[in-house]
């Protein structure tokens, strides 16, 4: 495997505002930086035409499935940029900040990269296989979050998403994970 799961876009909802609200406190911060890195990598590989501009971060994780997904279509890129804006809002709310996250500010005004707009494409599933329990990417990411990220699920000045308890009590999901060898004691 030439990519590492440590970078991700937690696709907990296809609506970027709802998706950001569902992110845990730790991911609200972390995912702003990772989003900025994927956005900048897209610009390094497909810079906007006829515009001279600085790309604030170096190219990184170019072959990671999520980074590839971002540059597959302008709609995907715009989704990530929108998600990043809502994550920034959550960052300010949860951590009582009166300034934007530095990574959000760094990429906020970048022009659109030179990539085709092929509409929304199916997001990459950057997670261990045991959580890929469905063809529905939201279901897979919610399962990954509810069972694979339990130690990170804190929601300051916010409410834990209902899906977490729902999934953790869903006997069908629990049985699928048991069949896949999930360690519930981690």
Residue 99 lies in a domain: yes
- Number of structural domains found in the chain: 1
The verdict on residue 186 lying in a domain is no
1 located within any domain: no
The answer to whether position 185 is within a domain reads no
What pLDDT was estimated at residue 6?
A: 76
30 in any annotated domain: yes
What is the DSSP track for the chain? --S-TTS----S-SSHHHHHHHS-HHHHHHHHHHHHHHHHHHHHHSPPTT-----SS----TTSHHHHHHTT-HHHHHHHHHHHHHHHHHHHHHTT-SS--HHHHHHTTPPPPS-------PPP--S-GGG--SS-HHHHHHHIIIIISGGG---TTS---HHHHHHHT-HHHHHHHHHTT--TT-
The model's pLDDT over 77-121, given as tens digits with 9 standing for 90+, comes to 999 999 999 999 999 999 999 999 999 999 999 999 999 999 999
Q: What range defines the domain where residue 133 resides?
A: 16-179
Residue 184 lies in a domain: no
Q: What's the predicted TM-score (pTM) here?
A: 0.94
| Residue 2 located in a structural domain | no
User: Does any domain span residue 10?
Assistant: no
Q: How confident is the model at residue 148 (pLDDT cuts 50, 70, 90)?
A: very high
């Amino acid at each position: 495997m030439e990519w590492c799961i440590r970078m991700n876009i937690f696709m907990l909802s296809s609506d970027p505002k709802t998706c950001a609200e569902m992110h845990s406190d730790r991911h609200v911060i972390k995912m702003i930086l990772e989003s900025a890195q994927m956005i900048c990598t897209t610009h390094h590989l497909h810079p906007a035409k006829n515009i001279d501009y600085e790309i604030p971060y170096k190219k990184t994780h170019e072959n990671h499935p999520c980074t590839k997904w971002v540059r597959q279509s302008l709609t995907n890129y715009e989704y990530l940029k929108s998600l990043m804006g809502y994550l920034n809002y959550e960052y300010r709310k949860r951590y009582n900040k009166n300034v934007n996250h530095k990574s959000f500010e760094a990429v906020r005004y970048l022009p659109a990269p030179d990539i085709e707009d092929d509409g929304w494409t199916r997001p990459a599933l950057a997670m261990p296989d045991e959580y890929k329990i469905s063809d529905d990417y939201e279901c897979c990411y919610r399962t990954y979050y509810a069972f694979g990220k339990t130690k990170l699920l804190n929601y300051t000045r916010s409410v834990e998403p209902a899906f977490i308890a729902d999934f953790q009590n869903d006997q069908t999901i629990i049985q699928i994970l048991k069949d896949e060898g999930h360690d519930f004691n981690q």
